[in-house]
Amino acid sequence: MKAEIITSLQNQRVKRLVQLQQKSAVRRESGLFVAEGLREVQHCVEGGFEIVTLYFCRAMLSDEVLDTLFQSCAGVDCYEVTPEVYEKMAYRGTTEGVMAEVRARYLILEDLKLGESPLVVVLESVEKPGNLGAVLRSADAAGVDAVLVCDALTDLYNPNLIRASLGAAFTVPVVACSSGDAIAYLKEHNVQILTAQLQDSNLYYDTDMRRGTALVMGTESTGLTDVWRQAADAHIRIPMLGRLDSLNVSVSAAILLFEAVRQRESKI
């Protein structure tokens, strides 16, 4: 495939892509975000996201990889960039020489298609995009039906989130909504609400997660608000045997998710 070659660091396309990487306001106004890396771009395509513009650095890619990339992004505007331009555009220090402008997709609760006994992750007011990305990676591995980000304090297309998710941001259905709407939705669909908290709680592995279950976690600093504690069907905790009383939210999510997977696979 022939593509126009961008050699100038002052090219307007280069400047726009850098702004998309750095500024959430630009992402919101344009409805676009950047997927950086071969794996991430491929997950975008597989997840049904619209690739608007593809950029590649031929010097960093094999002919075989380029052929595969062009086939998966057929019909997309493509631009070749020099290594110097790619370095200017790249948010990450080391990627495979591929990045794309992608049309953002914002799901609502009604878009979700839950299974018979759904497994849902709920995160309340999580601030750090890297934490949310890591949770999405675990959610993908555990085959969750959806992740609900309640009262979100981070941009769902933040490049740090996408990077930490390793592409799971495009494979897991994610909905940003209020806590009130999430609770109403879960109740309506007969999904039990299990809140991770230290107070008035049972050990997580003593709690039945085989039925439709939402695992709800808050921030490490303040935990969950009362609205979730009161809406919960049960409170669960991970035993803490050291001097600290909390884990990183992404670690907690992984522990709880794979207990649910264990119970469902072992049928006990």
Question: Does pLDDT of 268 surpass 70?
Answer: no
pLDDT score, position 177? 96
More confident residue, 93 or 3: 3
- The mean pLDDT of the chain is 92
The pTM assigned to this predicted structure is: 0.91
Please choose, from the candidates 162, 206, 203, the residue with its C-alpha nearest in 3D space to the C-alpha of residue 43: 162
The ranges of the chain annotated as CATH 3.30.1330.30 are: 4-103
If one counts every other C-beta atom within 10 angstroms of the C-beta of residue 53, the result is 18
Distance in angstroms (rounded) separating the CA atoms of residues 135 and 169: 10
Phi-psi region of 250 (alpha: psi -120 to 50; beta: other; left: phi over 0): alpha
Residue 260: what pLDDT? 97
Q: Which of 134, 35, 49, 138 is closest to 92 using CA atoms?
A: 35
What's the pLDDT score for residue 74? Answer: 86
For the domain with range 4-103, which CATH number is right: 1.10.150.20, 3.40.640.10, 3.30.1330.30, 3.30.70.150? Answer: 3.30.1330.30
* Beta carbons within 8 Å of 230's beta carbon, 6+ residues apart: none
The pLDDT tens digits for 214-263 are 999 998 667 799 999 999 999 999 998 888 777 899 999 999 999 999 99
Looking at residue 1, its pLDDT comes to: 59
Alpha-carbon distance values, 252 to 18, 216, 222, 224 (Å): 34, 10, 15, 14
- The class (CATH top level) of 109-266 is alpha beta
Query: Which pLDDT does position 126 carry in this prediction?
Result: 86
Closest by CA position to 160, among listed 268, 56, 34, 30: 34
User: Which residue do the tokens 């999904």 mark?
Assistant: 191
Residue 94 above 70 pLDDT? no
Per-residue confidence band for 23, with pLDDT thresholds at 50, 70 and 90: very high
